Structure formats: structure tokens, C-alpha cells
Amino acid sequence: MRKFKKLVLTGACGALGSVLREPLAGMAEALLSTDIADAPDTLHENETFTQADLGKMDQIEPLLEGADMVVHFGAIPDEAPFDELLGPNFFGSYHIWEAAHRHGVRRVVYASSVHAVGMHPSADGIDLTAPHRPDTFYGLSKCFSEDLARLYWEKRGLEAVCIRIFSCQPEPANMRALGTWLSYPDLVRLVQRSLDTPTVGFVPVYGVSNNDRSPVNNHQAAFLGYKPQDNAEDYYDKVIATARPADPQDPSQMRLGGPFAIVPLGESGVAMIKKMSEAAD
């Protein structure tokens, strides 16, 4: 694998950032990890950590100096009031792309989300030409960042891979996840390919595992060479045991965004999603 001189990982203390630190450390001479949270207990040998707020340009810009590429996973990872998302999710993306541009960073690999297209029916089998249909303010922040990424590519030549992460968890947690699960090892594979593909321009790609029931089609991004290895179907028996009743009139069961397709926007949505995910799906 190609060795980078310096990679930057934002959101390094988050659920997915934590998964990525080790493989990214293995791909670069130096990995700079950052998060708004405190540093992790232990760092890899070639890893440094800087605490920083994505909403503050003066904290973000210095981090990208000398970086080859940025893996931008920092953000509020859930629905939230628009005002709360502004800093980390909207400004955060702007700060990352603008800083990357100023420092001549070559590429941003971005944690976009299924929620940028969450209102599409699962049964439409969409591919990567489907238009944005956000399901929440959170999804809207992903649409914004993808459009920003395309703008920086077309006007400034800054490359971007926008990984629309589906249900990235240790195991598929419910019936929907039989289609939408992204295993941690497949997440790592996808990030690696997003980094090591020599030229990418601007490209979105769905982050799903090799699930029997995967509802989306990545063929336009085939040149990335992402070949997922895991299959949620292996967890079928476990999942079915606690599945909630099927209801074809329920958008949370028929749309890509799942529960996000029905929760209210903003604050009350946050609460409802929490409640829904506490219940067996």
C-alpha cells in the first residue's frame, strides 16, 4: 500500500474514527488525529492528537499543514437542532475544505451519510445518480458538504470521496440493517480505497457491506475498486428474533433513511430516534 507522509483524521474519538485510527496510522508516516473530545488514552507510535473544534477555523486550519489527505469524520453524528449542527457539521465542512485548499492538500475523504438520500424508497434500487433527498437537518448537512466538495473539485481541483455511510455498527441491529449494514472491516476497506486510488476527482459512493439485501447500487464508482466482504445475512437469525412487526405503510421501513425518514426535524427528532433505537427495532 502507498505510504502517505501525513494524514489527518477528524472525529478521531467517535465510534467510526476509533475504528479508523489504527489502519490510517498504518498508511502514513504521521497521523494527526483530532476531535473536540479529549485525547484517546493511548496513541499509535506515529500518531499525534490535537483537540480542536471543527466550528473554529483558527483551530482547524493549522492541523492540515503538510497533509497529503484528510479523512473527515468529525461531526455531530445524529439529528440535532439546526443551530447545533451549524458549527460542527456545516462550518466544520467548510473549514476542512477551505483549509485543505489553502494548504494544497490533495483530497478529502468525507463521512457523508445515507441520510443525504434518506427519503428515497429502498425499493427504488437507486444508484449514484439519484438526487439528494435529505431526511433530517443532519442529512441536509451532508447534502451541503457534498455540494461543497463538488464545488471545490470543479473550481479548485481539490479531490473528494464522499462515503455515504449506511448502518455502520459491529453487527446489524435490525431488519433494515440486513440491507444497510456496513461492517467495520468494510468501512476500513472503503476508506483505504478512497485514499489509495490514484485519481478520483469528485465521487460519491455508498458505504454498505456485501449484504444480500443491499438496496443501493455503486456501479458508477466501480473505478474505486471497493469490494466489501461482509454480509449482514449471516446475522439473520439473531436479527429476526427481535424484529418489530412489518408495516409497508411505515416510511421508516420503506425508505432508505429508516427511522430518520419519520422523526420530526431537530430537537424532538433527536429524542424520538433515541427512543426508537432503545426499543427493539
Active site residues: 138
Length of the chain: 281
Q: Which is nearer to its own copies, 184 or 206 (CB)?
A: 206
CB of 109 to its own copies, least distance (A): 14
CB of 254 to its own copies, least distance (A): 6
Q: Which is nearer to its own copies, 49 or 137 (CB)?
A: 137
H-run or E-run covering 156: helix 137-156
CB of 47 to its own copies, least distance (A): 23
Q: Which is nearer to its own copies, 29 or 247 (CB)?
A: 247
Nearest Cα neighbor of 76 from 44, 31, 115 is: 115
C-alpha cell at 241: 428474533
Q: Which is nearer to its own copies, 14 or 251 (CB)?
A: 251
Residue 262, phi then psi, degrees to nearest 5 = -120, -20
Near its own copies in 155-174, by CB under 8 A: 155-157, 159
Nearest Cα neighbor of 213 from 112, 129, 125, 131 is: 125
CB atoms closer than 10 angstroms to residue 83:
10
Q: Which is nearer to its own copies, 114 or 216 (CB)?
A: 216
Beta partners for residue 35, in sequence order: 51
Q: Does 224 bind its own copies (CB under 8 A)?
A: yes
Residues 6+ apart with CB under 8 A from 182: 165, 166, 167, 168, 169, 190, 207, 208, 209, 228
- Please select the residue that binds its own copies; options are 215, 228, 258, 259, rule is CB under 8 A: 215
Q: Which is nearer to its own copies, 163 or 200 (CB)?
A: 200
Helix (H, G, I), strand (E, B) or coil at 255: strand
State how far the Cα of 118 lies from the Cα of 111, in Å rounded to an integer: 15
Near its own copies in 14-73, by CB under 8 A: none
State how far the Cα of 111 lies from the Cα of 78, in Å rounded to an integer: 13
- Please select the residue that binds its own copies; options are 253, 259, 270, 273, rule is CB under 8 A: 253
State how far the Cα of 269 lies from the Cα of 261, in Å rounded to an integer: 10
Q: Max CA-CA distance within the chain? A: 53
**What single DSSP character describes residue 121?**
B
Q: Does 228 bind its own copies (CB under 8 A)?
A: no
CB of 113 to its own copies, least distance (A): 13
Binding mask 70-99 for its own copies (x = CB under 8 A): ------------x-------x---x---x-
Near its own copies in 115-154, by CB under 8 A: 119, 121-125, 129, 131-137, 139-140, 143-144, 147-148, 150-151, 154
Instruction: Choose the binding region for its own copies from 23-31, 33-41, 222-230, 271-279 (rule: CB under 8 A).
Output: 222-230
- Please select the residue that binds its own copies; options are 5, 15, 247, 275, rule is CB under 8 A: 247
Helix axes 92-102, 137-156, angle to 10 degrees: 20
Q: Does 194 bind its own copies (CB under 8 A)?
A: no
CB of 76 to its own copies, least distance (A): 16
State how far the Cα of 147 lies from the Cα of 280, in Å rounded to an integer: 35
